[in-house]
Each structure stands twice: as structure tokens, then as C-alpha cells.
Amino acid sequence: MRDVEIDNNSKKEASQTALTQSYPTPKNINLNGIDYLQSQAPVGIFGGTLISSTIGEGPKTFNPFNAKDNTSAIMSGVMYDGLLSSDPITGEPVPKLAKAFSISPDGKAYTIYLREGIKWSDGKPITADDVVFTWNNIIFGGYGDTSLRDSLYIEGKLPTCRKYGDYVVVFSVPKPFAPFIRSLSASIAPKHIFLPAVQKGKKYFESFLSTTTKPENFVTSGAFKLKEYVPAQRVVFERNPNYYEINTKEEKLPYLDRLVYLIVGDLNNQVLKFEAKELDIISLQGSKVARYKSLEHHSDYKLYNLGPDTGTMYISLNLNTRKDSKGKYYVKPIKQKWFNDLNFRKAVDYAIDRKNMVLNIANGIGEPLFTPESLNSIYRNKKLKSYDKNLNESKKLLKKSGFYTDKKGRLYDKDGNRVEFDLYTNAGNTEREAIGVMVKQDLEDLGMKVNFKPIEFNSLVNKLVSTFDWDMVIMGLTGSPLEPNGGKNVWMSDGRLHMFNMRTPQEGKTGILPWEKQLDEMFEKGALATKFEDRKVYYDKYQEIVYNQKPMIYIYSPTQIFAIRNKFKNIYPSSLGGLTHNIEEIYIGHD
Amino acid sequence: MDTIKYIIKRILQTIPLLIIVSFVSFFIIRLSPVDPLAELKLNPSVSPETVEKETQRLGLDKPIIVQYGKWAISFVKGDLGVTSSGEKVSTKLAERIPNTLLLTIIVILLTWLVGVPLGIIAAVRWKTSLDRVLTVLTSIGMAIPSFFFAVLMLMFAVKTGWFPIGGLTSSNFADMSFGGKFWDITHHLILPVLVLFTISLAGLQRQMRANMLDVLDSDYVKFARAKGLSEGVVIYKHALRNAVNPMITLLGFEFAGLLSGAALTEYVFQYPGLGRLILEAVLKSDINLVMASLMMGAIMLILGNLIADILLIMTDPRIRSKA
């Protein structure tokens, strides 16, 4: 068992509540021949509603296999469980629809033992047929979003899935492939509902179980099922009476009758709705936390600090030295020289005042970040040391590369070109805009001229992944704290998000830098190793390379702070799972 | 007969107009450097194959003129296409149009029922204290930006707890009785209606007052008064009929604003109308949705003007003879 380390040293003690008592993990139990999951948390009271929210325009689909955006994935995730899930505290794979699993010694066969006697919300049994159908026909068949399938190709081959009896399924992978175990958390579909849709073809499947489907047509395995969807207003889920988890008094969970997600347009509206008591739970950003904390004592909510966010915020420099199809350089040759100069990148890094940003932008609710893996990642390389802003070091590095400043403090390169470039971020994200202003100031201390240009999100992404005409950018990415392999799109030299040195598909791996080659190697090896300890070595090395080469300069990770009404009990906050990972165990207490 | 011919002529005239509008809008949207697949592309767990598939599905790999041609053909056939996330544009619009109409029709009815009489009264009682009070109030109404007023009203709702924070229905709406549902919707509508009403009332009242004042100053009104007609007959029979003509043109514009006029207020109040939908569509360059809304706006404007012209023909004999 590995514990997730959360070091709280640089945060304001006043503005946080420590993680409370540890979460009692549910256990398997067999009652009258049915393999239930039994909650070990205190027994609660049935009934009531929890009102949460989602920002944006609401879900685009309720089909877990079509969900391409976060909101749709959350909504379908509420309804459809997978075989396994991640332990909210340790990140270990834990059984959900499966009661147990085993991996063969050669790492090529995954045997899944299903729960016997559990049912879909319409009363039909959940069996190996559903699992085999989901994997072979839907996922490997290329229905819906094929990202999961595409990530499982190993040397051009897909894993296979076979059933042995009604309750045993064996997955075979052509080669040991560590990230596979995490993909077993993919939702399982009820065969009797999905089969007709699959038979009608891929085009029909895209609109299957969409937002216009009648709620009664959903057959689910999760704790809740859809009751009502009102466009641009809310999604209402009601309890699934056939859910397979029971409490210690052998009563069927979930406790709550309803789970409601209000669809709110923006953060401000979300805060207003929480204050007007229309919402029960809210995630708070930097400046709001102090105010909510001061109000906490005479209010009906409690704040929870879940530790660092899984997101990473960074500054990236464009290392591209290639030409576009018209023979024009993506980045001006003068600038190419600066950005490809390690001393220049390091000088930029040393000039950034991360602590100041945490203090002023995140109101102290965050931590400086130096690694590409987020602070709560079980793979984070803890040997990479943090350091403070050091302008002298920056100036020394710049001098080494022949940069000089004139009497007015303006910086020139050794050929006499004024160091001036554009810094982009997406407009409307106030946090990134604030970081941009501070980065600009920090770099101007070195005599650089930085033109800070916040532009619209979709235009920015177009620059980053299509036209490559940018110098420096402030962006954020979310990654899995459990599985670094997802980052291969960013770090491998031909990755689709290899922003700092993006290559077109035609270019392949041309102009690969020595350390980019090393990164490729680490990601290839890391995915094929199976033991955590072995994988850790490769992923530590990749973080070290990034730390030393600075293609991306990491800034800080915000801390996740949630507020939830006191009346909700059985709250076991976790850095990995959030506040409502055990939604089926949460109940409304009388006090 | 002449009137029908006139209407047909007008409708035919709009066709080239609509083609130009659609052409220009389509090209402006497509030439802007906004990537409709940005969110997908920036998600590390989405595979390149998926991005490729989406690009083909949305036709982004084809030249703009081909994309426009495809869009135009299906538009003429009555197919509005699908949004970038694969939902039908017509369903999306159909979900929102009734909500927006509910809001705008209430507002238009209220403003006309209140604004026109207030305008007449202010003109008749010109330079009295009542007129002055109304002038001050309407000046304030015209001066406040609608989104700012809406934000103020939201703060008011949060502080007092008297009104819900935006939306149209409460989360337990489905379980309410009919009376409860009616009250719930009314309760949610009060603040957005108040905001839109205040803003548009001011303009309408002033317009009506100005028209009426113009007419009251004209020779034939002076003549009618000199003839010894009662004040009631002078104002309501002679003056009002003439003062109302410009208002009919205004009504045409109100019609055009039925679907799009409340967008800002809708956004602030998180009202589930077209405003929020279209704003997000524009930001994400969701071409089919944006085009559908733009075309809808253009058609509504043309239709509004046409209706106004027809009404004018009916009320004004001078236009009738020319047409």
C-alpha cells in the first residue's frame, strides 16, 4: 500500500481543515448467494437530495462510450460502474462490478471474477456476457469515442476478452502492459439494451442514449439512474433500487433519494447559488476561500482541504526550428536561438517567483510545482528539489550565452537583437491572466520585453496544435495522478500535444533532440513494465529530464478546497477521489 | 390583390439578401482562427484517431467553399445539421426557443401595455410635474446597461433570499402541483422580466411621447381644437391615429428581437434560453448552431419588417394607394 503524501508546509494553516479520519474501505460479503459490496461507514438515514453543480452547457450525451467532455463523462459515470475503480485514498485498483481480480505472473492475463447475483436497474442479472459484449463489441469494435481502444494497441494488436462461465472473464494482452489495469474502470454496458443500438451501426450509436432519450430508457449499474434532464438547467438522478452495495444493517444503498446537478454558466453564478443555498457543495477558488473560512463558524457548511489539484500549470517555450509547407519558419530564427538555448530557458525559470504567485494569485491556497507529474501523483519524483527565485543566477546564465543589457537595462542577445517575444494565455481564465502579468513582470526584471496577449481559448489551441506560431504560453493540463502513461501524448516526440516542439504527422520524428529521444524511451519502457517499482524508475527519469531541460516550466498547483453543508454525513475527503467519491454512503443527518 | 402581390415581391427580394448574409457569416466564422475541436485536442487522453475522425465528421478537412455548399444545400432542404458535439441543431433550438419566447413575449406585452399609455399621458400633460417625473424615470431606465441592472438584481436576490438565483424552474419542479409549477415559473421570471421591462419601457415611452407631441403640434390638431371638438376626440381620434404609425415600424423590430433581444439578460440570469446556447456556440465556433441562429435572426428581422409594412398598409391609406 502506498500513501499519498500531502505536505502542507507552505500553506496558510488558518485556511484549511486537515483530512479527517481514514476512510473505511467497503468489503465484499456474500448474502443469500449474492455478492454484495458492504459499506463499512456508519449506518445512515435514508432519503433526501444532494444538489451539486456543473459549469458550462451541461452534458452532451449520457452514453458513457460517447462522452468526450468532462461533464458528460461525470454524468454517465454516475450511472454506469466499471469492473474496477481506484481506491480514493491509495489509488490501488479496487473491485466494483468485479468482486476480485488476479494478474498472471507473466503479466499477460487479467482474470476478473464478477459478483454473482447482482442486477441492472431493470432487474436483469449482470453477467460475463455484458462484460464481453462491452469490451469486444463496443470498445474494441470502435463504437463511440475510440480513445480508450486506441490507447490499448500494443504493437498493432488489441487485448482479447473471453468469458469462462457466467461470472469469470479473462483479458489477455499480447505483451505486459501496465496501464491496462486502469482501463478496466471503463463503464460496462447492459447487453440487452446496447445490443440493438450496436447492430444499427456506428452512426446510430453516436446518438444512442443522448440527452433527448427518455429517462425511463436508461438501465444502469451505478448507484443512481437518470430521472430528469432539463436543458441548461439541471440533471436529476434518482437512486437505483438494485445497486449492489449494502450497509452493515444489510440495507441497500445509496442513502440519498436524489442526486441533482445544476447546470450553471460560470463560477460567479455557482458561488451565488451556493450562498443562496440552492447548492449543497461547491469547489472554491483562491480568493473565495478566506472569506468562506471566516464565515464558516456561524454558517451551515464546512470546508475541506483535499490537497493539491491534479492539474498542472506551466509556461512553455516554443522550441520549434522547422519550416511550414510554404517554407516559412514557424518561429523566427532569432527567437529559435533563444528558446533552444538551455541557459535562456533556465534563466526564465529562475526569474519566476512561484511563491509570490501562490501567495498573490492563489491567496496562499496552492503550492509551487517543479515536476510535470502533479503533487498528488503516486509517481511524482520527490528527489527533484524546489528552489526560489534567483535573479543573479538568471543573469549569470544569460551572460554565459552572450546576452547583455544596455544602460537602460534592456536585454540583447550576442548578435545585438533586442529580446522581445509574445506571451499567450487563454482570455477569460483570470488565474492564468494574473500569472501572465506576474511572469511578464518577472521577466522584465531581466530586461526582456514581453508582450502579454490573452486570446480566446479556441484560438489559442489552434496556435498550439495547428499553426505553431507562438513564442511562449501559459497553459494548464490535467493528468491522472495514478497513471503517467496518459502524458505520452504530451511528452513523446510525435505526440499530438507535444506542444513545445510540435511536429506535423508528415514530419514524424524529424529533428528530434537527444533528450526528446530519451523521453520517448522512458514512456515506451514505462508502459511495458508491470511492477510499480520498475515503472517508477522510468517515470522518475522522465521527470528529471523535464526538470533539467525546462521545455515546460511548471508554476504551481492550486489546492482543492470544497465546502459542503454540515447536514451531509459520511464525508471522507480524499485528494484523489474528491468529496463525493462515496456518494452512495453519504446521508443527511438530523442535527 | 395588390397587397398580396406586394408581399410576394417582398418575400422574393429577401432571398438574395439571405444568401449574402449566410455567405458572409459562414466565411467570417470559418476564417476566424478559432478551432472548434480545441477542447478535444487539448485533452491528453483523446487519441489522434479520434481527433481525425471528428475533423472528418465536421467536414473541417474540406475547403471552406465546399463546407458552405454542403451547409447551404442541407439548409435549403430544412436540415440544420448537427452541433460540434453531435446533437441535432433543430432539437437544441427547439429546447430553448419556447423559454426565450416566454420571457420576451411577457416583456413586450408589458412594455406596450404600459409604455404606450404612459407616453400618451406624458405628451398630453406636457411640462406638468407628472411628465417631468416620467422623464427622469425613463432617463434612468435608458441609462442603466441591462447586464449591470441584471447583476444588481441578482445581488438583491442573494441578499434578501426573496428570489431564486436565475434559472427558470426549481430542482424539485417535476414533483410540484400545477399551481406550484405556475408559481415557481412566475417566481423565477419576476427579476429577468423586471430588468428587460425597465429597459425597454423607457425607450418606448419616450418614443410614444415624442410622436404624440409632434402630432399635437400639427396644424390639423390645432384646427380640430379651434373647431371646438372635445379634448378626448382630438387626442384619441385625430392625434393618436397619426402618432401610432412610427410605433408600428418599431413593433416590427420588436418582433425581430423576440428570439435574440434578451441574450445578455438571459446570460446573467442563467436563463435556459437561446442567449446562453448561442454565446457558447460562437465561442466554440460551432458552425451549424451559429449559422442556424444567425439565419433565424435575419429571417425574423425581415419578417418583422414585412409585418410592420403590412400593418402600415392597413392603417395608413396613403401607403395603400402607393402599394
pLDDT digits (tens, 9 = 90+) for A466-501: 888 899 999 988 778 888 888 888 898 888 889 899
Handedness of CA A538, A540, A542, A544 (dihedral sign): negative
Tell whether the model's pLDDT for residue B121 goes beyond 60: yes
For residue A291, the model assigns a pLDDT of 81
**Amino acid A85: pLDDT:** 92
Clarify whether residues A236 and A344 are in a common domain: no
Main-chain dihedrals φ then ψ at residue A523, nearest 5 degrees: -70, -35
Cβ contact (<8 Å) for A496 and B51? yes
Instruction: Give yes or no for a contact between A112 and A184, defined as CB atoms under 8 angstroms apart.
Output: yes
Q: Is residue A306 part of a domain?
A: no
**Cβ-nearest to B276 among A69, A232, A460:** A232
pLDDT cut 70: percent of chain B above it: 98
Predicted confidence at residue B80, as pLDDT, reads 86
Residues 195-214 of A with CB under 8 A from B: 206-207, 210-212
Q: Point out the residue among A231, A265, A456 whose CB comes nearest to the CB of B34.
A: A456
pLDDT at B260: 80
Report pLDDT for A514. Answer: 92
Instruction: Report the predicted TM-score, pTM, of the whole model to 2 decimal places.
Output: 0.85
Residues 6+ apart with CB under 8 A from A90: A1, A2, A3, A4
Say whether B272 and A232 touch across the interface (CB within 8 A): yes
Domain count, chain A: 2
Among A56, A210, A233, beta carbon nearest to B87:
A210
Instruction: Report if residue A307 sits inside a domain.
Output: no
What pLDDT score was predicted for residue A19?
45
Instruction: Determine whether the interchain pair B34/A462 forms a contact, defined as Cβ–Cβ distance below 8 Å.
Output: yes
pLDDT for residue A113 is more than 90:
yes
3-class secondary-structure state, position A135: helix
> Does pLDDT of A88 surpass 50?
yes
pLDDT of residue B38: 78
Q: Name the closest residue on chain A to residue B157, using Cα atoms.
A: A276
What pLDDT is recorded for position A341? 93
CATH assignment at residue A99: 3.40.190.10
Q: Verify whether the Cβ–Cβ distance A146 to B272 is below 8 Å.
A: no
Q: Are A62 and A209 in contact (CB under 8 A)?
A: yes
> Which ipTM did the prediction report?
0.84
Q: Looking at beta carbons, which residues of chain B come within 8 Å of A207?
A: 86-88
Residues 6+ apart with CB under 8 A from A58: A71, A211, A229, A231, A232, A235, A263
A254 in the same domain as A114: yes
Determine, yes or no, domain membership for A347. Answer: yes
One domain, residues A42 and A75: yes
Cβ B157–A276 below 8 Å, yes or no? yes
Q: What is the DSSP letter of A126?
A: P
Query: Between chains, do B171 and A51 touch, taking CB under 8 Å as contact?
Result: yes
Contact B33 A463 (CB under 8 A): yes
Residues of A in contact with B280 (CB under 8 A): 56-57
A317 lies in the same domain as A290: no
Is A7 among the domain residues?
yes
| Residue B320 banded pLDDT, cuts 50, 70, 90 | low
CB-CB neighbors (< 8 A) of B44 in chain A: 477-479, 486-487, 489-490, 497
Residues A39 and A164 reside in one and the same domain = yes
Taking alpha carbons only, the member of A505, A543, A502, A550 closest to residue A526 is A543
A354 and A296 both lie in a single domain: no
Section A148-168 average pLDDT: 89
With contacts defined as CB-CB under 8 Å, which chain A residues touch B148? none
Model confidence pLDDT, tens digit, residues A422-432? 999 988 778 88
For an interface test with A, which of B35, B96, B163 has the most A Cβ atoms less than 10 Å from its Cβ? B35
Kindly report, residue by residue over A388-404, the tens digit of the pLDDT.
999 999 999 999 999 99
Same domain, A65 and A207: yes
Q: How many angstroms separate the Cα of A77 from the Cα of each of A256, B41, B149, B155?
A: 17, 22, 39, 35
Could you give the CA distance from residue A392 to residue A346 in angstroms, rounded to a whole number? 12
Among A residues 474-513, those touching chain B with beta carbons less than 8 Å apart: 477-479, 486-487, 489-490, 496-497, 505
Contact: A497, B96; criterion CB under 8 Å: no
Range of the domain at A277: 2-300+566-588
Closest listed residue to residue A515, CA positions, set A544, A473, A480, A472: A544
**DSSP bridge partners of A568:** A588
The band of A12, judged by pLDDT with boundaries at 50, 70 and 90, is: very low
Residues A207 and A338 in one domain: no
In this prediction, residue B322 carries a pLDDT of: 56
Distance from CA of B315 to the nearest CA of A (A): 42
What number is the average pLDDT over the span A335-357? 93
Let me know whether A273 and A393 are in one domain.
no
Query: For residue A116, is pLDDT > 70?
Result: yes
Q: What is the DSSP letter of A125?
A: B
Which of B42, B161, B276 is facing A265, going by the closest CB pair? B276
Interfacial A residues in 10-69 facing B (CB < 8 Å)? 49, 51, 56-57, 60-61, 66, 68-69
Residue of B nearest to A58 (CA): B277
Contact across the interface for B270 and A265, Cβ inside 8 Å: yes
Number of A/B CB contacts below 8 angstroms equals 147
CATH number at residue A361: 3.10.105.10
pLDDT for residue A171? 95
pLDDT, position A18: 42
Best residue in A68, A262, A469 for a mutation probing chain B (most B CBs within 10 Å)? A68
List the single residue in B with minimal CA-CA distance to A67. B85
- Give the lowest-confidence range in A4-18, A545-559, A568-582: A4-18
Q: What is the pLDDT of residue B235?
A: 84
Rounded CA separation B315/B245 (Å):
8
Is A361 within the bounds of a domain?
Answer: yes
A370 plus A258 within the same structural domain: no
* CA distance linking residue A215 with residue A222, whole number of Å: 15
pLDDT in tens, A347-392: 999 999 999 999 888 888 888 999 999 888 889 999 999 999 999 9
Query: Scanning the structure block, which residue is given the C-alpha cell 511578464?
Result: A440
Selected for mutation to probe chain A from B32, B39, B45 (highest A CB count within 10 Å) is B45
Q: Are residues A153 and A274 in the same domain?
A: yes
> Both A365 and A284 in a single domain?
no
Quick one: closest CA in B to A466, which residue? B35
Per the CB < 8 Å rule, is B87 touching A231?
Answer: no
**Would residue A305 count as lying in a domain?**
no
- Minimal C-alpha gap between B321 and chain A (Å): 50
Residues of A (129-158) whose Cβ lies below 8 Å from B: 145-147, 150-151
Res B316 pLDDT > 80? no
Query: Which residue in A231, A275, A490 is closest to B272 by CB distance?
Result: A231
Query: What mean pLDDT do residues A504-519 have?
Result: 87
